[in-house]
A and B are shown apart, each in its own frame.
Chain A
Amino acid sequence: MSERGSKKSLLFYLVLIVLIITLLPSSWKHSSRMTFIRLFSPVMSFVNDKTVKVRDTFSALFHIGSVKKENKDLRNQVESLKSDLVYLEELKLENKRLRDLLELKETFGEYDLVTANVIGRDATNWNKSIIIDKGEIHGVESKDPVVSYGGVVGIVFTSGRKESKIMLLNDNNSRVGVIVQRTRDLGVVEGQSTDVLILKYIRKTADIKPGDILITSGTGQIYPKGVKVGEIIKVFEEKFRLYKFAEVKPDVNFGKLEEVFVITRRDSEDENQQEDAQAQIQEEE
């Protein structure tokens, strides 16, 4: 009897608990749920992570074939994109070179420019020269000036049939007449077989300073006037010397020359103009 009574009372309590839970206000239920989630969220998160990892591993094991294929496809895609990138970079550089070339052609509008590739370099430490793939059949002759995007490169030392040797501006036999762009002082730039050139014969009173730009003077009748040679980096003034000296950084990186331009001759139109001018002078005389 007592056993039946206890069972009944247990059932009664259970129903009572269920009723209480059911009849609890919804806000309380929500907060208690959140408390529960908050308490167990680290555990849930841990379990979830591990489960996902295990599931992924099994999934990868089951789909290893397709994963391998996908990996291979992606690798191919990456390689293809890489080569595209290199090609685009090359195109970009070519575009820049062509723009520079156009600018250069405009600068030397009155002259004929022969584009040449550098195919060799001087093998000794004492001389600085390059070999280009253009020669007499392309109109290249000895003593023709050679320029690049940056400025003066040198002169044609000897020209063969299809190739020529160029004496670079930094060769120790190289000389070029220059003007200091800011002060208009005349001087001579000489090579020293190093990366730095030397500016000589600048009068002592000249106000030259580092940063001044040097351009060709055109007095030697080899280089056209106004081509950039370099920039003064250091000025020397010695008490017992008649002239000032300066170290000059050339604008052209001689070690990285890939293509150069040989100035071969003036345009025929320009020549005609000169002839006309000479004829006029003769008539006047």
Chain B
Amino acid sequence: MQLVTWIILIALAVLQSSFIIHIPFFQFKPELILIFCVYLATRYDWVRGFWWGMACGAAMSICSIGDPRFFILVFASIGFVSGSFRGALFVDHNSTKIIILFFMSIAGTMAFALLTQQSGFSFFEMAFIKKYIIKIAVINCLFAVPLYSFFQKIYNKIEAR
């Protein structure tokens, strides 16, 4: 299972830094690694969500100039929080996972904006958040629909073996 997860993660990192950058939707790119991170956390538990979140953060930092520590910290937190929903109702349904992804996407964007703003927080300075936070979350959710079905098939097959 771990090997497959690593392969998927590497494949997503390659896709994110090559294919995805050429197809921006409304100026934004879907965050494939974040989508995968939330899927893993909601499928298993918060412990695995935390560890795989760290791995996802490291993979995401390869695709960007951002500080790797921020990426690892934010993704680990997202994995942890998403994994905490494991006991919730209908969490095995992809639609529930997508709803969790929507909120995690918003939280992730806010966390990044807060961590990278050097001169303090104010609504004026957070134009990025004000204008685009929902759009990014919606784009992530749209991409999650086919991806979650794909991940589910793969992991169901692996677990069946």
Contacts and interface: CB of A to CB of B under 8 A. Distances in A.
Interface of A: 120-127, 129, 157-158, 165, 167, 171-173, 190, 192-196, 198, 200, 236, 245, 255
B16 A127 contact: no
Given A126-B112, A245-B124, 18 more contacts: A122-B64, A122-B65, A123-B21, A123-B60, A124-B63, A124-B66, A125-B28, A125-B109, A126-B113, A126-B116, A127-B65, A157-B65, A167-B65, A193-B128, A194-B131, A194-B132, A195-B27, A198-B124
Given A123-B29, A194-B127, A194-B128, A158 B17 contact: no
A120 B116 CA distance: 22
B119 interface: yes
Contacts of A190: 119
Contact of B29 (A124, A157, A171, A196): A124
Interface of B: 16-17, 20-21, 27-29, 31, 60, 63-66, 109, 112-113, 116-119, 124-125, 127-128, 131-132, 136
Contacts of A193: 128
Contacts of A157: 65
A129 B62 CA distance: 12
Contacts of B117: 172
Contacts of A121: 21
B112 to A, nearest CB: 4
A200 B120 CA distance: 13
A121 B28 CA distance: 12
A237 to B, nearest CB: 12
A110 to B, nearest CB: 29
A198 B136 contact: no
Contacts of B125: 192, 198
B116 A173 contact: yes
A200 B66 CA distance: 23
B128 A124 contact: no
Contacts of B127: 192, 194, 196, 198
A99 to B, nearest CB: 29
A124 B31 contact: yes
A124 B60 contact: yes
A127 B17 contact: no
B128 A165 contact: no
A194 B130 CA distance: 11
24 contacts: A120-B21, A122-B63, A123-B16, A123-B20, A123-B21, A124-B29, A124-B66, A125-B28, A125-B31, A125-B109, A125-B132, A126-B113, A127-B64, A127-B66, A165-B65, A172-B113, A172-B116, A172-B128, A173-B116, A192-B125, A192-B128, A194-B127, A198-B124, A198-B125
With most chain A CB atoms within 10 A of its CB, the pick from B17, B20, B66, B112 is B66
A157 B66 CA distance: 10
B28 to A, nearest CB: 5
Contacts of A198: 124-125, 127
Contacts of B131: 194
